[in-house]
């Protein structure tokens, strides 16, 4: 009787996920200002090419002594074949990674947070990462694989103002605990918290970043917008301003969901920063403490329009990514103009005030499409990329009409969802929604031809 050799069942390959996943097991010593992290990155090769290197951004290493690397392993095997300079970690892989293959990268490290000294805002952007006397801020705090675009790893050098990082969309799971749970601070974070036995799990999908702020002094107010929880974190004596910021952000979520497309997450946290700057992250943003201090009982103020501006970044940054260093206008012009969209829908009597005091007070000039490195200072840069950008969008909207303008923006959100778009994508999608000639407007505001 012939011998029958059993044939093992064939395993079906697991399809590559649509994006990377970051799992961050994180322990914070709030009083010592230290953070211990065991990070796992599940990275699918979606570049379309074989990979034999990886480039990982480690922004905390820009501060002396802030980042201490413990170990790195790839697919469970420790590696030392890497170079690490400034914010850039280059890893030489032991073998080629084929398209659609998934790498498992484990990095163990500790953070010693710097004191967030506030410098002259005309010279350099206020410090956010680190701690102040009353809050701890984790922004761009974990190693992440930078985007690969046309075969190049994209990691720009930081600048005195503007943002230099470019992010792929990814999923995040942050398992957070404090060394002393009895004195744990109140936490504002990207993603929805789920209390576990001895830690809290935060999850968010298809996000550009995961940010976190913690303070023992935070007060919290929340509003529901549909099934979205919008929460405002602020300090004592700023209750009225904290409520005003919450109201403006909740209204903006409603307006932009109708005008642009749905808000993508289940939560949005707005945080009173213990510094003088606003900054957007995924489902999370900071507002300058000065805006709270200057807040009046009217929506005609900085707190309102900057809260609206940062809320709009959940569309122009979060859903539709761009190169913030080389083409900052692609998100910032739309975010600035979204303030106008908010006012026309919620406070139409204040649209003229907004143009006068928010935009034209600064006598904006310059080309919209400048990189951050060509801005010649914070004010000239924002005058060009933000405020001239708002004028460009107003002139464009007037030329092609509201119907085509908002149909374009809605389609732009659909086509750009989860991607990193360029100025060429912006104008390509725009051209699909109007046959009206607007080339003279582009020549007026832009130095490049699109």
Q: Note whether 285 and 315 are within 8 A (CB).
A: no
**Predicted local distance difference test score (pLDDT) of residue 6:** 53
User: What pLDDT is recorded for position 297?
Assistant: 79
Output the CA–CA distances (angstroms, integers) from residue 196 to 29, 182, 202, 385, 422, in the order listed.
19, 16, 10, 44, 41
pLDDT value, residue 278: 87
Give residue 183's pLDDT: 96
Q: Which residue has the tokens 């968010």?
A: 204
DSSP 29-89: ETTTTEEEEEEEEEEE--SSS-EEEEEEE-GGGGSTTTEEEEEEEETTEE---EEEETTEE
What pLDDT is recorded for position 296?
Answer: 73
pLDDT value at position 124?
A: 60
Consecutive 10-residue averages of pLDDT for the chain (450 residues): 52 77 98 98 96 97 97 96 97 95 97 84 73 96 97 95 96 98 97 95 98 98 97 96 97 98 98 90 96 85 96 98 98 98 98 96 95 93 97 98 98 98 98 98 95
Q: Take residue 219 and report the two structure tokens written for it.
A: 């007060």
Q: What is the pLDDT of residue 295?
A: 73
Joined together, the tokens standing for residue 211 give 């940010």
């Amino acid at each position: 009787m012939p011998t029958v050799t059993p044939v093992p069942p064939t395993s079906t390959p697991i399809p590559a996920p649509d994006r990377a996943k970051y799992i961050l097991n994180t322990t914070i010593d709030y009083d010592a200002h230290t953070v211990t992290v065991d990070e796992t990155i599940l990275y699918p090769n979606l570049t379309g090419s074989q990979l034999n290197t990886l480039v990982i951004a480690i922004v905390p290493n820009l501060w002396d002594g802030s980042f201490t690397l413990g170990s790195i392993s790839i697919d469970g095997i420790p590696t030392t074949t890497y170079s690490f300079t400034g914010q850039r970690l280059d890893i030489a892989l032991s073998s080629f990674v084929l398209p659609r293959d998934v790498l498992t990268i484990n990095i163990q490290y500790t953070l010693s947070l710097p004191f967030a000294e506030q410098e002259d805002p005309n010279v350099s952007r206020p410090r956010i990462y680190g701690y102040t006397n009353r809050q701890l801020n984790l922004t761009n705090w974990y190693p992440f694989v930078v985007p690969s675009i046309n075969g190049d790893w994209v990691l720009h050098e930081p600048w005195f103002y503007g943002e230099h990082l470019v992010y792929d969309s990814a999923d995040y799971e942050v398992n957070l605990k404090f060394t002393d749970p009895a004195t744990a601070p109140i936490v504002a974070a990207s993603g929805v918290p789920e209390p576990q036995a001895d830690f809290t799990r935060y999850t968010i999908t298809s996000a550009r970043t995961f940010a976190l702020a913690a303070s023992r002094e935070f007060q919290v107010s929340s509003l529901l917008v549909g099934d979205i929880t919008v929460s405002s974190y602020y300090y004592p004596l700023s209750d009225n301003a904290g409520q005003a910021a919450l109201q403006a952000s909740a209204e903006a979520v409603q307006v932009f969901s109708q005008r642009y497309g749905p808000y993508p997450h289940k939560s949005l946290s707005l945080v009173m920063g213990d510094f003088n700057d606003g900054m957007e992250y995924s489902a999370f943003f900071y507002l300058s403490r000065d805006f709270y201090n200057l807040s009046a009982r009217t929506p005609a103020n900085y707190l309102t329009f900057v809260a609206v501006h940062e809320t709009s970044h959940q569309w122009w940054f979060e859903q539709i990514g761009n190169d913030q260093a080389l083409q900052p206008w692609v998100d910032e012009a739309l975010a600035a103009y979204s303030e106008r969209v908010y006012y026309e829908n919620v406070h139409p009597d204040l649209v003229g005030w907004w143009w006068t005091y928010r935009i034209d007070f600064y006598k904006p000039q310059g080309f919209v499409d400048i990189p951050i490195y060509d801005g010649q200072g914070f004010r000239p840069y924002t005058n060009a990329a933000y405020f001239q950008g708002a004028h460009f969008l107003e002139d464009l909207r007037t030329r092609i009409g509201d119907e085509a303008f908002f149909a374009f923006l809605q389609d732009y959100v659909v086509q750009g969802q989860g991607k990193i778009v360029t100025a060429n994508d912006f104008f390509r999608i725009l051209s699909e929604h109007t046959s009206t000639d607007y080339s003279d407007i582009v020549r007026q505001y832009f130095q490049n031809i699109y």
